[in-house]
């Protein structure tokens, strides 16, 4: 990257190219690329993760950890689908990921986490996110492997009802198939659909 055209070294050091250029675009009347689409995709992911059935019949812990795990699970399904499109969909995927972690950051601040405590908590969440993505990746065609991944990650080793676990496996596989059937163009426009959880 070339040196930023600032004579004030302090100003150059404080300039965040990923966010501040976006602010300039907004001030000039435009929006950063994928802003609306990523917002719509993430909003759909969060809305699905909040479905009451997961916490009642699905027996996911109705806690900060449980809600986080459900957001990650549905984000995995979305990012997997966008990855299959490739090209600009990878940029949209990155924008959605950035928005998701900005939301996590905001939630932690609302909970009273200090600036000094923010970095380690976000780092821990990022590690948990990528660990879960890695655990789920490649399991959709193998129910037993997906069941094991869900038991360890979504339920954190505390699920003792095989029927509930089987229902969650069926749900995840059905959502993956549903996303695979959705039009690439619709997803690139931020239009994502999940079906109601039947657990």
**Angle at the Cα of 80 from the Cα atoms of 19 and 147, rounded to 5 degrees:** 125
179-198 pLDDT tens trace: 999 999 999 999 999 999 99
User: Quick one: DSSP state of residue 158?
Assistant: -
pLDDT at 116: 83
Cβ burial, residue 41 (10 Å; 0-12/13-18/19+): buried
Spatial neighbors of 26 by CB under 8 A, at least 6 apart, are 32
Structure-block tokens of residue 124: 């821990």
pLDDT at 12: 36
Q: Which of 9-18, 23-32, 64-73, 84-93 has the lowest mean pLDDT?
A: 9-18
% the chain with pLDDT above 90: 75
pLDDT at 31: 56
**pLDDT band of 10, cuts 50, 70, 90:** very low
Give residue 87's region: left, alpha or beta (phi > 0; psi -120 to 50): left
Structure-block tokens of residue 35: 């802003």
41-64 pLDDT tens trace: 999 999 999 999 999 999 999 999
Cβ burial, residue 191 (10 Å; 0-12/13-18/19+): middle
Altogether, the residues listed in the chain come to a count of: 199
Between residues 128 and 113, which one has the greater pLDDT? 128
What number of CA atoms fall less than 13 Å from residue 131's CA on the CB side? 12
**pLDDT band of 80, cuts 50, 70, 90:** very high
pTM, 2 dp:
0.83
User: Quick one: DSSP state of residue 3?
Assistant: P
């Amino acid at each position: 990257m070339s040196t930023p055209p600032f004579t004030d070294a302090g100003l150059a050091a404080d300039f965040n190219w990923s966010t501040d250029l976006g602010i300039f675009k907004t001030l000039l009347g435009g929006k950063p690329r994928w802003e609306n689409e990523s917002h719509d995709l993430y909003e759909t992911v969060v809305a699905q993760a909040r479905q009451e059935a997961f916490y009642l019949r699905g027996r996911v812990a109705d806690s900060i950890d449980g809600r986080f795990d459900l957001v990650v699970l549905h984000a995995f399904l979305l990012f997997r689908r966008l990855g299959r499109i490739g090209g600009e969909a990878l940029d949209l995927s990155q924008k959605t990921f950035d928005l998701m972690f900005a939301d996590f950051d905001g939630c932690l601040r609302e909970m009273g986490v200090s600036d000094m405590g923010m970095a380690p908590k976000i780092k821990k969440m990022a590690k948990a996110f990528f660990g879960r993505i890695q655990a789920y990746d490649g399991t959709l065609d193998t129910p037993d492997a997906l069941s094991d991944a869900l038991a360890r990650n979504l339920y954190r080793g505390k699920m003792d009802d095989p029927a509930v676990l089987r229902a969650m496996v069926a749900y995840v596989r059905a959502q993956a198939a549903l996303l695979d059937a959705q039009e690439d163009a619709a997803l690139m426009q931020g239009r994502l659909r999940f079906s109601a959880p039947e657990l």
